[in-house]
Amino acid sequence: MRFDYGYDEEQRLGKPYDLKLLRRILPYARPHRTRLLLSVLLVITITLLELSVPYITKEIIDRHIVPKARIAGDPQGTDSDGRQRLWVDLSDPVAAAVVARNGQRFEIRGTRAGIDMDALGRLETSDLEKLRHTDLSGIARITAIFMAVVVAIFACTFVQNLIMEIAGNRIMHDLRVNLYRHIQAMPLSFFTSNPVARLVTRVTNDIANMHDLFTNFISMVFKDIFLLVGIAVVLLAMDWRLALLTFLVLPLVALAAFGFSKRVRDVFRELRTKVAEINTRFSETISGIKVIQTFGHEEDNAGAFARLNHDNYLAGMRQINIFAVFMPVIEMLGVTAIAIVVHVGGSHVIGQTMSIGILAAFLAYMRMFFRPIRDLAEKYNILQNAMASAERIFLLMDRPTAVTPGNERQTIDGPLKTIRFEDVSLAYNPGEMVLKSINLSIEAGQTVAIVGATGSGKTSLVNLLVRFYDPTHGRVCFNGIDCNRIAPAELRKRIALVMQDPFLFTGSLRDNLFFAAKAISAGRQAEILEASRCSQLVSRFPDGLDTPITEGGASLSSGERQLISVARAFSTDPEAIILDEATSYVDSQTEMVLQEAIGNLMHGRTCVVVAHRLTTARTADQIVVLNNGSIMEIGNHETLIAKKGYYYRLYQLHG
């Protein structure tokens, strides 16, 4: 098991925003630009509606609840003598009747009647309601407008969220499919050097983080920007002096936000790395549970996991501590701004240079102003997550796929006649050749056995035949055509690989047996089952071909899995067969059945057999003996035995 996780990618943390990455994301968003534009328009609408709520409250207070709270000199409120009165229009019959009943309390001036605020409070409740029935009607009217605005905010928010979710999910669908296709096309060496948990994280967690960028961050940022600008404009319009005074706290807010972002980045990087290590450890534990239990390594393994988990806990606590400081600081600055409004605005109200409605609106706007700032931590996390995930996703998508792109436009005309290795060398890592100057010719219908010690390059050689890798030097030619000019799919239609330990997928037995066939008739299925000797395997299950198979085929023996691999090869009706140690690790009875199936498969086809046991190679037309990546000898069994060379010594060792 690995203890050096080597998570360089996880420790990479670029800018919290990166224009290059954003430009790479744009092609995925472009097909959905209509939805995104509509979402932005809805965000603007929602912002305008939210901005109107405190202003509506101001209008209710100033126009109808406290009509006396007006600027000095207003003839409808404070008179020139400094006395505050409520003036009513005598043309209103309801108001005129109240004035007639309480004439001694009113001062009549033409078509208007005024009453002092003190006297107003001494009127009967019924008279007061009649006197202010216009205000009550106004309150009801504006309240209806207020409720309509609230309903409109709800409706627009619902539609905007729905649109963004649809767009975000479709964008992530396209990105996930492209990433999945790219991973499938990666070389085998990529999968041996990358933990499964890391790749699963790319397709799941990293894509989910990108989804949050579209559905949460973008819409929230647009809304918050519009909201902040809108509030600033409204505050300046209502009272620019008081607005500028409250804006004095903004430099402190910016300083706190900068300090927060700088400190949280390092902790965020560490936390993400620890989570990745935990995922890898857990994945390895599940995959290697037999080894762990066999060697009694449970306690040591649990201890290592506990240490990783504790490190993750400490990183999480450091992040929480930073948030625990940042949030109260922003809250304190917000309260400070509100205190400034209460103190200065209250003084203006007492001095009759500001209405109570404006003061109430100011307080509401200040609370709204600091709401998006308080959300900064959440937005920063979303952006940081998304940019880090985007960087890792595109780093993966920028890696070259299994084969070097070439002029893959040629097809093999007619049957496959010859396969030639012309001075072929292969290196998985620069300077480390696993195959050296291989020259080999395979004719149609021949059976060629590849033998050699473990690590001699047998599997590497056959991997070149199906373009799992391209040669580092030299050429592999099919009917004289360089394989680099033939699409891998074209080769894999003609060449089938029977692996020693085939992977079975979750699904039915039918799905796994005929995995390579797009559509196959029932008659053809029966022929394949008989030829591959899988009929008995199918018959022992009550559900037959519909028997469910779990991932990896754990319910089947090694021999049964190899029989399924033979059936898969039959289903494509290939011209050439590669048998990669297909008879290893099975009992003698199963091996006899397997040999029959393989014999049927090899009949009339070009065959390349990789064998550890030399008994498999005895009947081959040509035996290729490899040692340290080079061909030591070529010939049939009798010729090589007569030479008493390297093959002879191997044969003697195998008894």
pLDDT of residue 632: 93
Q: How far apart are CA 336 and CA 367, in angstroms?
A: 11
Q: How far apart are CA 319 and CA 1, in angstroms?
A: 30
The rounded percent of the chain whose pLDDT value lies above 70 is 92
For 546-564, write each residue's pLDDT tens digit. Answer: 898 877 777 788 888 888 8
For 185-195, write each residue's pLDDT tens digit. Answer: 887 778 877 77
pLDDT of residue 426: 93
Q: How far apart are CA 438 and CA 420, in angstroms?
A: 10
Query: Which residues, other chains included, contact 394 with Cβ-Cβ below 8 Å and sequence gap of 6+?
Result: 21, 24
pLDDT of residue 413: 85
pLDDT of residue 455: 85
Query: Taking the alpha carbons of 435, 437, 441, 446 in that order, is the dihedral positive or negative?
Result: negative
Tokens of residue 634, six digits: 């070529």
List of E strands, 483-629:
495-498, 507-508, 548-549, 576-580, 606-610, 622-627
For 372-406, write each residue's pLDDT tens digit. Answer: 877 766 777 778 778 878 888 888 888 887 665 55
Beta-bridge partners for 621: none
Please, are residues 2 and 301 in contact by the beta-carbon 8 Å criterion?
A: no
pLDDT band at residue 10, thresholds of 50, 70 and 90? low
Q: How far apart are CA 499 and CA 333, in angstroms?
A: 67
Residue 632 exposed, middle or buried by CB count within 10 Å (0-12, 13-18, 19+): middle
Between 571 and 195, whose confidence is greater? 571
Tokens of residue 228, six digits: 């902040």
Please, are residues 334 and 366 in contact by the beta-carbon 8 Å criterion?
A: yes
pLDDT of residue 68: 47
Strand ranges of the sheet holding 106-109, from the earlier edge strand across to the other edge? 85-89, 112-116, 106-109
Count of alpha carbons within 13 Å of 632, Cβ hemisphere only? 21
- Give the mean pLDDT of 164-193: 87
Please, are residues 484 and 470 in contact by the beta-carbon 8 Å criterion?
A: yes
For 468-492, write each residue's pLDDT tens digit. Answer: 888 999 999 999 999 888 888 888 8
pLDDT of residue 1: 38
Please, are residues 512 and 565 in contact by the beta-carbon 8 Å criterion?
A: no
pLDDT of residue 178: 92
Query: Which residues, other chains included, contact 450 with Cβ-Cβ below 8 Å and sequence gap of 6+?
Result: 458, 461, 462, 608, 609, 610, 611, 624, 626
Statement: residue 435 has pLDDT above 90: yes
Domains of the chain from N-terminus onward: 20-63+137-397 (1.20.1560.10), 66-136 (no CATH), 418-654 (3.40.50.300)
Is 543 strand, coil or helix? coil
pLDDT of residue 142: 92
Which residue is listed with tokens 């990358």? 194
pTM equals 0.73
Q: Please tell me what DSSP assigns to residue 70.
A: -
Residue (of 7, 361, 34, 373) closest to 170 by Cα position = 34
- Give the mean pLDDT of 153-173: 92
pLDDT of residue 195: 76
pLDDT of residue 8: 47
For 25-56, write each residue's pLDDT tens digit. Answer: 888 888 998 998 999 899 999 999 999 999 99
Phi, psi of 454 (to 5 degrees): -60, 130
Please tell me which of 11-25, 318-332, 358-372 the model is most confident about, judged by mean pLDDT: 358-372
Between 145 and 126, whose confidence is greater? 145
For 576-618, write each residue's pLDDT tens digit. Answer: 999 876 545 667 788 788 888 988 999 999 999 997 777 778 8
pLDDT of residue 74: 43
The identity of residue 90, as a single letter, is: L
Is 346 strand, coil or helix? helix
pLDDT of residue 166: 92
pLDDT band at residue 18, thresholds of 50, 70 and 90? low
Tokens of residue 519, six digits: 């559509």
